[in-house]
């Protein structure tokens, strides 16, 4: 059976990136973006819907996002959907779905004087079929 797990989103950061490190020193950042959609309802009235999405970014790409991105900045995200489940200390089961970024492109908008820059980074471990993420030696920038 065929399957495909690919996500493409353009949105604005709702807060500054949250950078942290795993116990083995791997950088990971969480980005929260708002993706807006305009549409007409059945009566023809223009409506707007906003979807809030958490993006997980790994390795040098996480550090780069933390360094250059801030609340309000527009970004393009290419990645995959991933779901996670856990149990709280009280025994309640919780789950969430977010996007694991394969590539983040910084779009114009946000801090003055910056054009769109693209940072290519980690490929997801699920897409690669590995237990560890594929980590590039460096980040490639394109203007």
pLDDT at 110: 53
How far apart are alpha carbons 9 and 31 in whole angstroms? 13
Domain boundaries, position 107: 7-142
Say if 56 falls within a structural domain. Answer: yes
CATH code, domain with 63: 2.40.50.140
Say if 1 falls within a structural domain. Answer: no
Say if 2 falls within a structural domain. Answer: no
pLDDT single digits (tens) 54-107: 999 999 999 999 999 999 999 999 999 999 999 999 999 999 999 999 999 999
Indicate the average pLDDT of the chain.
Answer: 81
pLDDT tier at 108 (50, 70, 90 boundaries)?
confident
Cβ neighbour number for residue 68 with a 10 Å cutoff = 16
pLDDT at 109: 67
Number of domains comprising the chain: 1
């Amino acid at each position: 059976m065929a399957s495909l797990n690919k996500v493409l989103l353009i949105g604005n950061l709702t807060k500054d990136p949250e950078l942290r490190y795993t116990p083995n020193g791997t950088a990971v950042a969480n980005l929260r973006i708002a993706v807006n959609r305009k549409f007409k309802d059945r009566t023809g009235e223009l409506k707007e819907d906003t979807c809030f999405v958490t993006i997980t970014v790994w390795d040098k790409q996480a550090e780069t996002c933390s360094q250059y991105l801030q609340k309000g900045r527009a970004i393009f995200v290419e990645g995959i959907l991933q779901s996670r489940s856990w149990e709280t200390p009280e025994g309640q089961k919780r789950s969430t779905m977010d996007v694991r970024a394969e590539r983040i492109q910084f779009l114009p908008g946000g801090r003055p004087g910056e054009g769109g820059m693209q940072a290519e980074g980690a490929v997801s471990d699920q897409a690669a079929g590995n237990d560890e993420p594929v980590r590039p030696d460096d980040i490639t920038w394109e203007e």
